[in-house]
Homo-oligomer: A and B are copies of this chain.
Amino acid sequence: MSGAKLTKIAEALPSTVPFVGPEAAERQRGTAFTARLGANESVYGPSPKVLRAIEAAAPDVWMYGDPESHDLRRALALHHGVEMSEIVCGAGIDGLLNSIVRLHVEPGVSVVTSDGAYPTFNYHVAGYGGTLTKVPFRDDHEDPEALLRAATETGARLIYLSNPDNPMGSHHPAQVIDDMIADLPDGCLLVLDEAYIELAPDGTAPLIDTSNPQVIRMRTFSKAYGMAGMRIGYAIGEAGVIRSFEKVRNHFGIGRLSQQAALAALADTEWLEIVRAEVARARDRIAGIARENGLTPLPSATNFVTIDCGRGAEFAKTVLDALVARGIFIRMPFAEPGNRCIRVSCGTDQDLDRFAAALPPALAEAGSAMNDG
């Protein structure tokens, strides 16, 4: 009665999760968080029109969703001025990253990313047996030149770049990204994760050029559109690159309600403006709270603010733990030099009142711990 062997790749993989979810942390703590500011979700919620679309479509959930996401792709194509054949939908950017990595990465293949960037991408690269090279952030920005250099040195097949980036919240203007694209080595695909693009200043997103098979853009309804729990995102790219998803994707994997909700979300540009304004207001408030406590908020092009706690990684981790112990769910960057910071998602006024109340005692506690240590 012996079980089936795992593949060579799977055998070597740890059983892991790229992030511990807030619900799991709550179960460990035994109590709920009073402010959920750790997952860069949109506390402002989806558009009221999205809620109506969900309600209207709910009785139809006995039907599988359209495996082609035809209506949504048509709307997205119009929205972005591209062809439907240049768009593929997926169950969030996580699902799309899985597919693009699976298509291109096997043992012996090199991939380049920034140290401290999205762990789920790294999880996929490891999951398909690739070799990951990480280059450090520079001045709290991802470093296109270093990424290109590493890609050239390692003969990388993929480069991952988020713009705006998580976890620092910084961004590059479109020209920097366009210059990077122009300098991509042959045979290397730039996976440009634009999860936060709707919240970034104008001029952050390069013009979409679907004639270039070396760039694929990832977008999501999880952030500005407030639909993280609906699991829907999309990729835009050259038609041949997009068509390759048909080799491996889970065709019936996108929920019926998710497609309807995304259509409604895309159409409600007014709600997006409201969210943008709320996010800008919350960013300012978080930055203000940081400064009042002697900390340094970094500029943010996203729906979170990364705060430099000023005393290194151990201090930042102690501040994070002290906030979590006070019911404030936040996260922090994983890697040097970002890990001198904590990362706080935009919240409601009440969420930020609670953060503002918890931060001074958390800093005091962390300060004592450091002085004792």
**Is A54 close to B, CB under 8 A?**
yes
The docked-state distance in angstroms from the alpha carbon of A5 to that of B155 is 12
Q: Which residues of B lie under 8 Å from residue A41 when comparing CB positions? A: 62-64
Instruction: Report whether B228 and A62 are in contact in the complex, using a CB–CB cutoff of 8 Å.
Output: yes
Q: Which residues of B lie under 8 Å from residue A176 when comparing CB positions? A: none
**A152 shortest CB reach to chain B, Å:** 14
**Is A285 close to B, CB under 8 A?**
no
Instruction: Report whether A230 and B257 are in contact in the complex, using a CB–CB cutoff of 8 Å.
Output: yes
**Is A248 close to B, CB under 8 A?**
yes
Number of copies of this chain that the complex holds: 2
The docked-state distance in angstroms from the alpha carbon of A16 to that of B19 is 33
**Is A339 close to B, CB under 8 A?**
no
**A77 shortest CB reach to chain B, Å:** 15
**Is A241 close to B, CB under 8 A?**
yes
List residues of A (169-199) whose CB comes within 8 Å of B's CBs.
Answer: 186-189
Among B17, B27, B213, B257, point to the contact of A246 (Cβ < 8 A).
B17
Q: Which residues of B lie under 8 Å from residue A105 when comparing CB positions? A: 7
Instruction: Report whether B250 and A229 are in contact in the complex, using a CB–CB cutoff of 8 Å.
Output: no
Q: Which residues of B lie under 8 Å from residue A65 when comparing CB positions? A: 229, 231
Instruction: Report whether A24 and B67 are in contact in the complex, using a CB–CB cutoff of 8 Å.
Output: yes
Instruction: Report whether B61 and A213 are in contact in the complex, using a CB–CB cutoff of 8 Å.
Output: no
**A43 shortest CB reach to chain B, Å:** 6
Interface of A is mostly: loop
List residues of A (39-96) whose CB comes within 8 Å of B's CBs.
Answer: 39, 41-46, 50-51, 54-55, 58-68, 70, 91-92, 94-95
**Is A2 close to B, CB under 8 A?**
yes
* Contact status of A7 and B104, CB under 8 A, knowing A95-B253, A229-B63, A257-B229: yes
**Is A157 close to B, CB under 8 A?**
yes
**Is A23 close to B, CB under 8 A?**
yes
Q: Which residues of B lie under 8 Å from residue A238 when comparing CB positions? A: 3
**Is A138 close to B, CB under 8 A?**
no
Among B50, B91, B188, point to the contact of A91 (Cβ < 8 A).
B91
Q: Which residues of B lie under 8 Å from residue A21 when comparing CB positions? A: 64, 66-68, 251-252
Q: Which residue of B lies closest to A40 (CB)?
A: B64
**A344 shortest CB reach to chain B, Å:** 16
* Contact status of A158 and B4, CB under 8 A, knowing A15-B244, A17-B246, A106-B9: yes
- Give me 12 A-to-B residue pairs in the complex whose CB atoms sit less than 8 angstroms apart, sorted by A's number: A2-B213, A3-B238, A3-B240, A10-B102, A15-B243, A16-B246, A17-B67, A21-B251, A23-B67, A27-B70, A41-B62, A229-B255
